[in-house]
Structure 1
Amino acid sequence: MEFSRFLPLLIGLLLGAWTIAAAWAVLSARSRQHHAETQLRSARRLSRLVEESPALPMLVRTDGRIEAGPRLAQWLGLDEVPQYLSELDGNGRGLPADKLSELTEAVRRCQKAATPFRMAVTPHGSTRSLALRGYLADPQVSPGGAALVWVFDFSDNEMELVRLRDEAARARGDFHALVSLIEAAPMPMWFRRPDGELQLVNHAYVAAVGAKSAEDAVARGIELIEAVDGLSPAHVARKAAEKGTPTERIVSTTIEGQRRALRVSDLPLGEDGVAGYAIDIEDLEEMSRSFRAFRDAQRALLDQLSAGVAQFDAKRRLAFANQPFQRLFKLDPRVMIDPPAFERLLDAARDVGRVPEVRDFPAWRRERAGWFAAGNAQEEAWALADGTHLRIVAQPVPDGGLLLIVEDRTEQLRLSAVRDTLLRTRTATFDSLFESIAVFAPDGRMQIWNRRFAADWGLDSEFLDTHPHIEALLKKLAGRLQRAEEAEMVGDVVRAATLDRTQTGGRIGLSDGRMLEYAGVPLPDGNGLLAVLDITDSMKAEQALRESNQALIEADAIKTRFLANMSKELRTPLTSIGGFAEMLDLGLGGDLNEPGKDYVHSIIEASRHLGDHIDSLLDLSQSEAGLLPLKFDEVDPMSFVRAVVEERAGRLQKAGVTLDLQAKGLLRPIVADSRRLARAIGHIVDNAIAASPKGERVLVQLSRSKGAGGDCLQILVQDRGQGMDSRTLARALDGMKVGADGKVQSRDGLGLPLARQLVEAHGGVLRLVSEPRQGTTALIELPWK
Structure 2
Amino acid sequence: MLVRADGRIEMAPSLAGWLGLDEAPRTLADLAADNGLSTEETAAVERDVGAAQRAARPFERAVTPRGSGRTLAMRGTRAPAELGNGVLVWVSDISDARTEIEALGGEAARLAVAYDALTGLIEAAPLPMWVRDPDLRLAMVNTAYVRAVEGTDADDVIDRGLELVEGSGRGGPVAGAAAARDGRALSEQVLPATIAGARRSLRVIDVPLPTGGVAGFAVDVEDLEQARADTKRFADAQRGMLDRLSAGVAQFGPDRSLVFCNQPFRRMFAMRAEWLADRPEFERVLERMREANRLPEVRDFPGWKLARRAWFVGADGASEEAWHLPGGTHLHVVAQPLPDGGLLLIFEDRTEQVQLASARDTLLRVRTATFDNLFEALGVFAADGRLQLWNNRFRALWGVEEEFLSSHPRVDAFAERVASRLATPNRSALIPDLVRSATAERQQRGGRVAFADGRHFEFAGVPLPDGNALFTMLDITDSRRAEQALRERANALEAADKVKTQFVANMSY
Would the TM-score normalized by the shorter structure come out above 0.5? yes
CA gap of 1:466–1:270, structure 2 versus 1, over 3 A, is: closer
CA gap of 1:221–1:293, structure 2 versus 1, over 3 A, is: same
Tell whether 2:469 aligns with 1:503.
no
Distance, in Å, in 1 between the alignment partners of 2:321 and 2:103 is: 69
Aligned partners of 1:444 and 1:470 also within 8 Å? no
Letter in 1 for 2:203: R
3-state SS of paired residue (1:241):
helix
CA gap of 1:412–1:252, structure 2 versus 1, over 3 A, is: same
- Residues 172-193 of structure 1 show CA distances to partners (whole Å, capped at 9, x for unaligned) of 4433333333333322222233
Distance, in Å, in 1 between the alignment partners of 2:200 and 2:316 is: 42
CA gap of 1:507–1:270, structure 2 versus 1, over 3 A, is: same
Partner of 1:316: 256
Aligned with 1:425 (options 351, 366, 378): 366
Partner of 2:214: 274
What's the offset of the Cα at 1:419?
3.1
Partner of 2:143: 203
What's the offset of the Cα at 1:260?
1.8
3-state SS of paired residue (2:67):
helix
Aligned partners of 1:356 and 1:383 also within 8 Å? yes
What's the offset of the Cα at 1:473?
5.0
Letter in 2 for 1:101: G
3-state SS of paired residue (1:228):
coil
Aligned partners of 2:257 and 2:279 also within 8 Å? yes
Tell whether 2:332 aligns with 1:366.
no
Distance, in Å, in 1 between the alignment partners of 2:211 and 2:117 is: 23
- Residues 537-580 of structure 1 show CA distances to partners (whole Å, capped at 9, x for unaligned) of 9xx9xxxxxxxxxxxxxxxxxxxxxxxxxxxxxxxxxxxxxxxx
- Map 1:540-555 to 2 at 5 A: none
Letter in 1 for 2:414: H
Distance, in Å, in 1 between the alignment partners of 2:243 and 2:333 is: 18
What's the offset of the Cα at 1:426?
0.8
What's the offset of the Cα at 1:368?
2.2
Tell whether 2:182 aligns with 1:213.
no
Partner of 2:114: 174
Q: In angstroms, what is the RMSD of aligned CA positions?
A: 4.9
Q: Percent identity?
A: 47
Tell whether 2:67 aligns with 1:101.
yes
- Residues 8-29 of structure 1 show CA distances to partners (whole Å, capped at 9, x for unaligned) of xxxxxxxxxxxxxxxxxxxxxx
CA gap of 1:489–1:350, structure 2 versus 1, over 3 A, is: same
Aligned partners of 2:252 and 2:343 also within 8 Å? yes
3-state SS of paired residue (1:285):
helix
Distance, in Å, in 1 between the alignment partners of 2:165 and 2:433 is: 92
- Residues 261-292 of structure 1 show CA distances to partners (whole Å, capped at 9, x for unaligned) of 12222333356123322222222223333333
3-state SS of paired residue (2:192):
strand
What's the offset of the Cα at 1:162?
9.5
- Map 1:655-734 to 2 at 5 A: none
- Residues 513-549 of structure 1 show CA distances to partners (whole Å, capped at 9, x for unaligned) of 9998754322345542134568999xx9xxxxxxxxx
Aligned with 1:469 (options 368, 392, 414): 414
Aligned with 2:380 (options 436, 439, 462): 439
Aligned partners of 1:329 and 1:354 also within 8 Å? yes
Distance, in Å, in 2 between the alignment partners of 1:474 and 1:344 is: 72
Aligned partners of 1:442 and 1:528 also within 8 Å? yes
What's the offset of the Cα at 1:424?
1.2
Letter in 1 for 2:437: A
Letter in 1 for 2:230: S
What's the offset of the Cα at 1:102?
1.8
Unaligned runs of 5+ in 1: 1-59, 65-85, 87-97, 107-113, 121-130, 132-157, 541-785
Tell whether 2:464 aligns with 1:523.
yes
- Residues 27-82 of structure 1 show CA distances to partners (whole Å, capped at 9, x for unaligned) of xxxxxxxxxxxxxxxxxxxxxxxxxxxxxxxxx99xx9xxxxxxxxxxxxxxxxxx
Distance, in Å, in 1 between the alignment partners of 2:453 and 2:276 is: 80
Tell whether 2:232 aligns with 1:287.
no
Letter in 1 for 2:444: Q
- Map 1:325-336 to 2 at 5 A: none
TM value normalised by structure 1? 0.41
Which deviates more, 374-383 or 402-411? Answer: 402-411
What's the offset of the Cα at 1:430?
1.9
Greater relative contact order (CA < 8 Å, ≥ 6 in sequence): 2
What's the offset of the Cα at 1:250?
1.6
Partner of 1:186: 126
Distance, in Å, in 2 between the alignment partners of 1:340 and 1:400 is: 17
What's the offset of the Cα at 1:377?
1.8
3-state SS of paired residue (2:134):
coil
Rg comparison, structure with higher value: 1
CA gap of 1:244–1:335, structure 2 versus 1, over 3 A, is: farther
Distance, in Å, in 2 between the alignment partners of 1:463 and 1:104 is: 120
Aligned partners of 1:310 and 1:404 also within 8 Å? yes
Distance, in Å, in 1 between the alignment partners of 2:65 and 2:350 is: 96
Distance, in Å, in 1 between the alignment partners of 2:458 and 2:474 is: 5
TM value normalised by structure 2? 0.60
- Residues 448-503 of structure 1 show CA distances to partners (whole Å, capped at 9, x for unaligned) of 4445668xxx9487678854934665764659xxxx99998777545533453322
Unaligned runs of 5+ in 2: 1-12, 18-34, 36-63, 73-89, 406-412, 483-509
Distance, in Å, in 2 between the alignment partners of 1:197 and 1:238 is: 11
Letter in 2 for 1:428: A
Tell whether 2:171 aligns with 1:231.
yes
Partner of 2:195: 255
Distance, in Å, in 2 between the alignment partners of 1:287 and 1:419 is: 50
Distance, in Å, in 2 between the alignment partners of 1:517 and 1:356 is: 57
Distance, in Å, in 2 between the alignment partners of 1:433 and 1:416 is: 26
Partner of 2:30: none
What's the offset of the Cα at 1:403?
4.6
Partner of 1:376: 316
Aligned partners of 1:440 and 1:528 also within 8 Å? yes
Count of residues in correspondence between the two structures: 395
Distance, in Å, in 2 between the alignment partners of 1:362 and 1:201 is: 63
- Residues 346-375 of structure 1 show CA distances to partners (whole Å, capped at 9, x for unaligned) of 334333344433222222222222233333
What's the offset of the Cα at 1:431?
3.1
CA gap of 1:258–1:487, structure 2 versus 1, over 3 A, is: closer
What's the offset of the Cα at 1:439?
2.9
